[in-house]
A and B are shown apart, each in its own frame.
Chain A
Amino acid sequence: MNINTTKIISLLFFIFSAFYLYTAYQIQVFAFDENAPFNARTFPIYLGYAGLFFSGLKLVLPDPDTIKVEHITLEYKKTGILILIAIIYGATILKVGYFLTTSLFLFASYYFLGERRWILMFFLSFPFVAAFMYLLHGVLDIYLRDPFLKLIGVMG
């Protein structure tokens, strides 16, 4: 059997399905439902077996159309930084507020992607977010929590 990344992904999916199936069997159902033709664990159990079946087939059957990815050409560093910025954005959005975190997220993302036109970067972050926030909060009446704007007295 030729080992390639697709096979490794299939193996991981096989393990995931086995774990899913194990967890499905652990679902606590009501005592009166235990022997019912269908209860909360029935469908997940079928899914677990289906996952094992298809990933097992993918593992065993030959894979003539192997996908080869040129890892050297891939930009792992920039992608990683962008993901990290998004995680920090997600972690701070509730505590700091929508306006400041979103603006900083956009500004930082432009910078790490190689942009250096500062004025454009500024306009496409702070005023842009302010306008978007006005659309959501002011026009569409969708509540946006913003402790920062509250603190400086912009938002009531």
Chain B
Amino acid sequence: MIEGILVGLTTALTFQNIFMVMIGCFFGTIIGMLPGLGPMTAIALMIPITYGFDPATGLILMAGVYYGAVFGGSTSSILLNAPGVPGTVATSFDGYPMAQQGKAGKALAIAAWSSFAGGTLSAIYLLFMAPTLSKVSLSFRSPDYFALMILGLTAIAAFSSKGQFLKAMMMVVLGLMLASVGQDSLSDITRFTFDNMNLTDGISFVLVVMATFAMSEALTIILKRNDPTAAAKQVSLTELGSIKINKEERGKMYKTIPRSSVIGFLIGVLPGAGATIASFLAYGMERNLVKDEEKEKFGKGSVNGLSAPETANNAACSGSFVPMLTLGIPGSGTTAVMLGALLGFGIQPGPRLYMTNPEIFWSVIMSMYIGMVILLILNLPLIPYIARVLAVPKNYLIPLILFFSITGIYVMSFNNFDIYLMIGIAVVATFLRLYDFPMPPLILAFVLGGLMEENLRRSLLLSNGSWEFLWDRALTVCILFTTILIVLWHIYKTLTKKKS
């Protein structure tokens, strides 16, 4: 292994490859900040360029773009509540409120340091555990995945504040219902399309995220313009705040980062899970682990609430390389695109990759760490300038948010219907937000919907329609037991609070 690491270091530290990581990180950050153009688009755009290089350099460039795009997505999540990337949706839960309180600089700095720490730790995990983890990830079967989805959805308990549990559950169901629109993945039978061809492919994730977060946020700001509290917010928005993280905040991050990096990395390793689920789970776990006093701050600008998903999504990015490089199974949509590029180079990823092409395997792992360092060097000095977006007057900022949202959808589909649908969903979401219906559970359910149905289908077909698969395997039972514990803990906390 030492020999492999040295080969990787030698390859990654060439001038050309360092330059490629820098270009990738910079380009990825810009693309990630544009709603609708996530890492998948950015990497897809890079594929024709990478064919001009050798495979290791090409893959290093794509890894840089990937990290950059995830960080760029966090920036638009924090400043505009418009997550450019699904994996950064959870970042907006506390990052955006923090920016609203005039601490945009600090929020971006916490995000940058958490991303760096998450990426660094996961690069270390990757270094030592990649071959072993690839074997473990193979032991996950459909019932385990289904149980994992259930666990992910119980994380909504973390998002719902006092008295909001049922509202959150209704939003979960609504998210799953929206995800069920379109062709059934196995039989190709169309569902809930009402003979409308535009709905055959289902509703795009970016559309739902843009409608429920960016657009509805913009509409809510206009709607509440005369609200005196909104006017106070407007004043605080012009303050960018310091980017320095104080001792107390650092103390909170020291606790959050290690545990979130572990959960992020492990979720990233599971094929099909990815950064989105990792960030939601890390957020939920963090909320359950912090003290009651800190718990109250979740959703209102908590340092732990911002640091956890940021650490986890970057750790998951590294983790998702494990199944791709060692098994040839992509851990996320983005790594699927990268896998396609790798096959284009004539390289077959699999358990023998780090024997047949050690320079590719180890140089990608080494360049991940270098990418993290470069991302930090690039982004930290730019924070005061990036944060100035918030100082733009609302009269300009709101139309620009609407413009970015609509453009994001337009460039994806070139279709009027999607724009109308987005406006419709945004109007409903704005109304629901007025009455405190939480949107994060809807998004999480929408992401998990397809995977959940797929795994339930496989489990039920294999067990011939019996629900015994839920307690057939120890791993499934463990995950479900954790889920039950979380729900019981939530109920217990609610009851004890009521009594006190």
Q: Is the CB of B166 within 8 A of A110?
A: no
The residue on B at minimum CB distance from A136 is B411
Q: Is the CB of B398 within 8 A of A29?
A: no
Q: Contacts of A144 on B, CB cut-off 8 Å?
A: 411
Chain B proximity of A79: nearest CB distance (Å): 5
With A39-B187, A89-B406, A94-B414 already in contact, the answer to whether A74 and B219 are too (CB < 8 A) is no
Q: Is the CB of B416 within 8 A of A10?
A: no
Q: Is the CB of B416 within 8 A of A90?
A: yes
Q: Is the CB of B219 within 8 A of A82?
A: yes
Could you mark each residue 439-459 of chain B with 1 if its beta carbon is under 8 Å from any beta carbon of chain A, else 0?
000000000000011001100
A16 to B162, CA, bound (A): 26
Q: Is the CB of B394 within 8 A of A74?
A: no
Chain B proximity of A22: nearest CB distance (Å): 11
User: Pick the contact of B406 from A40, A41, A73, A90 — CB < 8 Å?
Assistant: A90
User: Pick the contact of A74 from B186, B226, B410, B427 — CB < 8 Å?
Assistant: B226
Q: Contacts of B2 on A, CB cut-off 8 Å?
A: none
Q: Is the CB of A140 within 8 A of B163?
A: no
Q: Contacts of B223 on A, CB cut-off 8 Å?
A: 74-76, 79
B residues 352-367 near A (Cβ < 8 Å) are none
User: Pick the contact of A124 from B396, B430, B463, B464 — CB < 8 Å?
Assistant: B396
Q: Is the CB of B453 within 8 A of A43?
A: yes
Q: Contacts of B419 on A, CB cut-off 8 Å?
A: 86, 89-90, 93
Q: Is the CB of A54 within 8 A of B177?
A: no
A26 to B40, CA, bound (A): 36
Q: Contacts of A67 on B, CB cut-off 8 Å?
A: 434-436
Q: Is the CB of B191 within 8 A of A40?
A: yes
User: Pick the contact of A43 from B167, B180, B396, B406 — CB < 8 Å?
Assistant: B180
Q: Contacts of A82 on B, CB cut-off 8 Å?
A: 219, 222, 398-399, 402
B residues 391-423 near A (Cβ < 8 Å) are 393-396, 398-400, 402-403, 406-407, 410-411, 414, 416, 419-420, 423
Instruction: Let me know if B192 is at the binding interface, CB within 8 A.
Output: yes
Interface centre among B31, B184, B395, B434 (most CB of A within 10 A): B395
Q: Contacts of B406 on A, CB cut-off 8 Å?
A: 86, 89-90, 93, 105
Q: Is the CB of B403 within 8 A of A40?
A: no
Q: Is the CB of B456 within 8 A of A102?
A: no
A58 to B333, CA, bound (A): 37
Q: Contacts of A79 on B, CB cut-off 8 Å?
A: 219, 222-223, 430
A75 to B219, CA, bound (A): 10
A29 to B457, CA, bound (A): 15
Interface window among B115-123, B168-176, B296-304: B168-176
Q: Is the CB of B403 within 8 A of A64?
A: no
Q: Is the CB of B224 within 8 A of A74?
A: yes
B residues 187-233 near A (Cβ < 8 Å) are 187, 189, 191-192, 219, 222-227
Q: Majority SS of interface residues in chain A?
A: helix
User: Pick the contact of A38 from B180, B396, B461 — CB < 8 Å?
Assistant: B461
Instruction: Let me know if B381 is at the binding interface, CB within 8 A.
Output: no
Q: Is the CB of A50 within 8 A of B403?
A: no
User: Pick the contact of B414 from A23, A65, A145 — CB < 8 Å?
Assistant: A145
Q: Contacts of A9 on B, CB cut-off 8 Å?
A: 432, 435, 437
Q: Is the CB of B189 within 8 A of A73?
A: no
Instruction: Let me know if B465 is at the binding interface, CB within 8 A.
Output: yes
Chain A proximity of B25: nearest CB distance (Å): 17
Q: Is the CB of A115 within 8 A of B396?
A: yes
A20 to B141, CA, bound (A): 30
B residues 22-37 near A (Cβ < 8 Å) are 31, 37
A42 to B223, CA, bound (A): 40
Could you mark each residue 4-16 of chain A with 1 if its beta carbon is under 8 Å from any beta carbon of chain B, else 0?
0110011001000
Q: Contacts of A23 on B, CB cut-off 8 Å?
A: 192
Chain A proximity of B418: nearest CB distance (Å): 9
Instruction: Let me know if B386 is at the binding interface, CB within 8 A.
Output: no
Q: Contacts of A91 on B, CB cut-off 8 Å?
A: 416
With A40-B191, A93-B410 already in contact, the answer to whether A102 and B174 are too (CB < 8 A) is no
Instruction: Let me know if A142 is at the binding interface, CB within 8 A.
Output: yes
A36 to B458, CA, bound (A): 12
Instruction: Let me know if B460 is at the binding interface, CB within 8 A.
Output: yes
The residue on B at minimum CB distance from A58 is B166
A99 to B222, CA, bound (A): 25
Instruction: Let me know if B45 is at the binding interface, CB within 8 A.
Output: yes
Chain A proximity of B111: nearest CB distance (Å): 24
With A43-B453, A75-B225, A113-B394 already in contact, the answer to whether A83 and B434 are too (CB < 8 A) is no
The residue on B at minimum CB distance from A57 is B166
Instruction: Let me know if A131 is at the binding interface, CB within 8 A.
Output: no
Instruction: Let me know if A69 is at the binding interface, CB within 8 A.
Output: yes
With A13-B170, A38-B456, A54-B166 already in contact, the answer to whether A29 and B187 are too (CB < 8 A) is yes
Q: Is the CB of A109 within 8 A of B457?
A: no
The residue on B at minimum CB distance from A52 is B173
Chain B proximity of A87: nearest CB distance (Å): 6
18 further A-B pairs in the complex, CB-CB below 8 A; given A37-B464, A54-B169, A86-B402: A9-B437, A10-B170, A37-B465, A47-B176, A50-B176, A51-B174, A70-B227, A75-B222, A75-B226, A82-B219, A87-B423, A90-B423, A110-B399, A115-B395, A120-B396, A124-B396, A132-B407, A142-B411
Question: 20 pairs across A/B with beta carbons < 8 Å?
Answer: A27-B189, A37-B464, A40-B191, A47-B176, A47-B177, A50-B176, A51-B173, A58-B166, A58-B167, A64-B163, A73-B224, A75-B224, A82-B222, A83-B219, A86-B419, A98-B410, A105-B406, A109-B398, A113-B222, A140-B31
Task: Give chain B's interface residues, CB within 8 Å of chain A.
Answer: 31, 37, 45, 162-163, 166-167, 169-170, 173-174, 176-177, 180, 184, 186-187, 189, 191-192, 219, 222-227, 393-396, 398-400, 402-403, 406-407, 410-411, 414, 416, 419-420, 423, 427, 430, 432, 434-437, 452-453, 456-457, 460-461, 463-465
Ranked nearest first, the 6 interchain pairs of A and B with the lowest CB-CB distance are: A37-B465, A90-B419, A109-B399, A40-B184, A65-B163, A40-B189
